[in-house]
Amino acid sequence: MRTIVSRLIRFKSSFAQTRFVSASYSGGGRYLSTDSNKIDEPFNVEEAETVHVPPPPTEKLLVLGGNGFVGSHVCKEALDRGLYVSSLSRSGKSSLQESWASRVTWHQGNLLSSDSLKDALDGVTSVISCVGGFGSNSYMYKINGTANINAIRAASEKAGVKRFVYISAADFGLANYLLSGYYEGKRAAETELLTRFAYGGIVLRPGFIYGTRSVGSMKIPLGVFGSPMEMVLQQAKPLNQLPLVGPLFTPPVNVESVAKVAVRAATDPVFPPGIVDVHGIQRYSQQKSR
């Protein structure tokens, strides 16, 4: 910082001198200033001190699945907070056409194959995984479970990675039986995370996430249903306690709230490790950012 300010000061001082010289020349036609001792005059420090130079980012965040719906909001939130952001997914940058995407370092890799994370983890201080998906039960177990378990293990073996946030999912009662691969995969990844990152592992368990999903240059607003449902179901908290069907009343949550809490959990050293449910996500997202 001191170096940058002193460079700015020197630049300002020599710039002022150049202007002085050229003014003398154009005014008199023949005279160049002989006031060379002006260089050594004390400069005006107060003016230089008003220049705002933001500190270089020291936190390096790796977003797994940064080109997906939740992942892209996480990348944007982290960039807004001044972090250095990189992402890894099977398709890399994919079809994202938004300006913030050019500020992310994109890696291509499949978390199901060993060593895919090796280079992407260099210099990384925290990881947020937004990798997950639907399909057959065995596919869902692999993407939600195995892929994330591989990432958690690789990150825990890198000395620099202090915090790891996993976007999991709330229980959905009866739906858990129909989507057993999805939930079993989620819970297996959670167990691995809380074991490997006992002090810096955070699991977020949202229900339905709404917001704007970008598909190429198209924007699909998922908030049309999500936002009113969130308001209604927030008031219906006791219904959540009903056996089997209760979890269906879990309120939806805005994708920006999920992204905000994920980035805070990944970077705030006093954010407590453990599981954060949808009500916790809503509560933390309303707190003022540090």
Ligand X SMILES: NC(=O)c1ccc[n+]([C@@H]2O[C@H](COP(=O)([O-])OP(=O)(O)OC[C@H]3O[C@@H](n4cnc5c(N)ncnc54)[C@H](OP(=O)(O)O)[C@@H]3O)[C@@H](O)[C@H]2O)c1
Residues in contact with ligand X by CB under 6 A are 65, 67-71, 89-91, 94, 110-112, 130-133, 143, 147, 167, 169, 206, 208-209
Name the phi and psi angles at 84, rounded to 5: -85, 125
The amino acid at residue 128 is I
Strand ranges (E), the chain? 60-64, 84-89, 105-108, 126-129, 163-167, 201-205, 209-210, 212-215, 218-221, 253-254, 274-277
Nearest to 88 by CA among 59, 53, 115: 115
For the record, the structure tokens of 127 come out as: 């990881």
CB of 207 vs ligand X, minimal distance in Å: 6
CB of 131 vs ligand X, minimal distance in Å: 4
CB of 19 vs ligand X, minimal distance in Å: 53
Nearest to 155 by CA among 188, 187, 186, 111: 111
Inter-residue contact 273 to 198 (CB < 8 Å): yes
CB of 9 vs ligand X, minimal distance in Å: 46
Nearest CB to ligand X, comparing residues 24 and 109: 109
Nearest CB to ligand X, comparing residues 69 and 284: 69
The amino acid at residue 89 is S
| Dihedral (CA of 10, 14, 19, 20) sign | positive
Inter-residue contact 76 to 212 (CB < 8 Å): no
CB of 167 vs ligand X, minimal distance in Å: 4
Residue 145 CA to residue 283 CA, distance in Å, equals 27
For the record, the structure tokens of 32 come out as: 């160049």
Nearest CB to ligand X, comparing residues 132 and 200: 132
Residue 62 CA to residue 171 CA, distance in Å, equals 27
Nearest CB to ligand X, comparing residues 48 and 124: 124
Nearest CB to ligand X, comparing residues 125 and 129: 129
Nearest CB to ligand X, comparing residues 208 and 249: 208
Exposed, middle or buried: residue 21 (CB in 10 Å: 0-12, 13-18, 19+)?
Answer: middle
Nearest CB to ligand X, comparing residues 51 and 178: 178
Residue 200 CA to residue 15 CA, distance in Å, equals 50
CB of 263 vs ligand X, minimal distance in Å: 15
Nearest CB to ligand X, comparing residues 73 and 163: 73
CB of 162 vs ligand X, minimal distance in Å: 22
CB of 268 vs ligand X, minimal distance in Å: 21
Name the phi and psi angles at 66, rounded to 5: -70, -10
